[in-house]
Structure 1
Amino acid sequence: MKRYYTFLTIGFVLTIALITFGAYRSKNGTVSTSTSESTVETTENATDEAEFTSEKNELLSELANAAFSLPPKLEEMGSIENLPDLSTMTIKTDPNSVVTDEEAENTIESIFTQDTGLPGSSINDDWVRNYADSTAETVDEFRQEKKEHLQASLDISYHAYVQNTILDKVIDDTSLTLSQEARDYGYKAVLWSLANSAKSSGLSIQTVLEVYYDNDFADLQDLNNIKVNLKLDGERFAKEALLIQYIAQTQGIEVSDAMIDQYVQEINSVSTEYYTRDTLIDTYGADRVNFEVLKEAVLKYLESQVNVMEEIPEETSAPEETEEETIGAPWWSIGYTSAETKQNTNDYQPYYGGVSDYNYTDDYDDPDDFAEEWAEENADDYDSYEDAMDDAYDIWEEERGDD
């Protein structure tokens, strides 16, 4: 049975905007509604509901048909002025983490238990040799393999955080003027990115929109908020693409086979699938691979030019919670780092690739209620409604145990 997950960043707080339909008048502390007013309200609500359903389906259809596209040429994107001096920029960050032997041991025992249902301490060489997602022959080799994978993932996450923090600051400190072509590209890129997130996470597109924009998607106001945020994110996407191309051109950064090979090596260091340059291009297309390789090269250049200071966080004070959130997507897929405040009832800064302590079942007290809602929302992702229910109960058991 296939399991689907959404990854949300730490500190994510799910809030739902409560919207009440209809106009009610209070008189002397009581609620009263005349017959004529009720008829008008019912008609207006029906009209609003029809309009909401039509526009919602139109947006979902647009997302379902979204496709990857390259940004316009640099000269068609807009203009850049006042690019900051990178050598004077300082970024502070926590030190990168180091995977311990104990963490690696816990990981392989967990994999063994999930695969066999037996206690992790029972892991043995025979099982390792027959485990499809590893080339190891012994438990010791398997432990080292997973330790290297975990460390590679941490390294990638660390540098991605540093690079995207730099990119955010450079975008915010630079005067960027976007052409209409750039704005159109950015909007389409956001739609594709969200659709790609839905595909990679196994969730429906509507669920992705609801989680990503922290929006109940229940009425016209919710829908209009989402549309506004899509345009804002599209502008951010376009600014990023403009800056990436500008730096690549001014610094003479061009994609080469060697760069693609290095990129493939990084993917293989954290992936259970093995890619070559050719298989990666066959899978994702040359345009997309070249775009991602160029972007990564520019981000590495930015990191090399900025002073990065690692600071050990003080243990006496708890970190301030944020309302950032993430939709699960391949770590190397197109993502963006928005520092702009969304025009919504909830402010947050999206960033792909985070991991959270948020659980699917947090908002439920009864496993049956959770299972029914899970199955209804995600039935299209399973072979049958019963499979969706079974998976929901498995998730409840994993997250809540005997609660």
Structure 2
Amino acid sequence: MRVSDFMHKSAAKVSPDDTVKTAMRLMLNLGMDGLPVCENNKYLGSISEADILQHLYPSIQEFMTDPYMYGFEDMETNMRGLFPKKVKNYMDKKFLHYVVRPETTLLHVQSIMMNKGVSHLPVVDKDGNLVGIVSQGDIFKGILGSEIPHDDSAEFHDWAANHYDLAQTWDKRLEGEIPSLKKLFTKEGVKKIADIGSGTGEHVIALAREGFSATGIDRSERLTSKSLEKRFALSTELKHRVSFINGDYFKVLRKKRDSFDGVIMMGNMLSHYEKDWKEVLDSIHYSLKSGGTLFLQLTNYESVFSTKKRVVRFSIAPSRITKRRKYAFITFYDNPKELKGNLLLNMAVMGHDGLRWSQKSINSMVVKDIRQATIEHELKKKSFKNIHFYGSNYGEPLFNTFKPREHDWLNVVTKK
């Protein structure tokens, strides 16, 4: 594996005559600890956070002249004095001896990094022009990334559990969805409901408040634990109508033959079983009573990709620990060719510390691309009947005429 395949080609850089303030702003905004210094794209050296910070301290000569001249608070006030200074006065030229070429192998670069105690190296062509930057992270992803699969559904939801409720605007969502579900299930005479992939239990508890008996089933231990915490806080009357089960859906539902009048799968949960989604439908069919009602909420992929609205959700929420901090959650889809009919669901979490945003974490999982014709065909094969399709947007009533290029959700109602 060569550096050219994994390096960052559009590397940010500064010139020797740029100010230290310009370099600092770039480092803060890009989350970098250093920048290459170039003149007419010729690599001359680098400037790092450490190069700047060390100039806050007095020089040896100043210290020897008066060791009590500067206290640490005085040193901090010296920072503004560095802003107008030129980068060339603080840049480090040692990296001129560590540059690598695009054709260098990744493990060769890693050996240089370990020997020199650095985490990034400039990549230059034969004329000394900067063509990119390679980091230990790039090497790690290049060598091991293809060997580590994306998270499965349970792993992804365990990761998401810590901020699952923060990422959802539950008041808005439940206000739009629960009245629709109540109307549907009341009309169909449903009394006992299973929520498959129940997350932190919000739909289960909301349906119980409407008088239904509701059971949440989820494979994630962390999400189920959060659901049980919410159940513990309910009144005694509500507790009797709410239950949560942690376990594999197939095993749980196979023990629940003809147990439920209604089953729901909200938030595109069916697609989260890219290999087993048909078997999930089999298990649901097994657990439903004859004449029971199934409601499926699927991401409307037609809208996501035909209109290129790949970012399907963006929300900002305050931290529950400190008022100063807040978080942003971005959920979006990719359609890589190598996944062959599957999609990649990604969630990025960013944090704001009161001054600036920075990336906290990002994770991905493979999901099945299930569209209207696909789900209709499979439901008919499973002997479901009276299949109806509706559309809705996030936080809105569920049963509107489906508009493939407009709606966030494809909502399916069918009966056993």
Higher helix proportion (structure 1 or 2): 1
Higher strand proportion (structure 1 or 2): 2
Structure of higher RCO (CA pairs closer than 8 Å, 6+ residues apart): 1
How would you bin the TM-score normalised by the shorter chain? under 0.3
Structure ID, larger Rg: 2
TM-score (norm 2): 0.22
TM-score (norm 1): 0.22
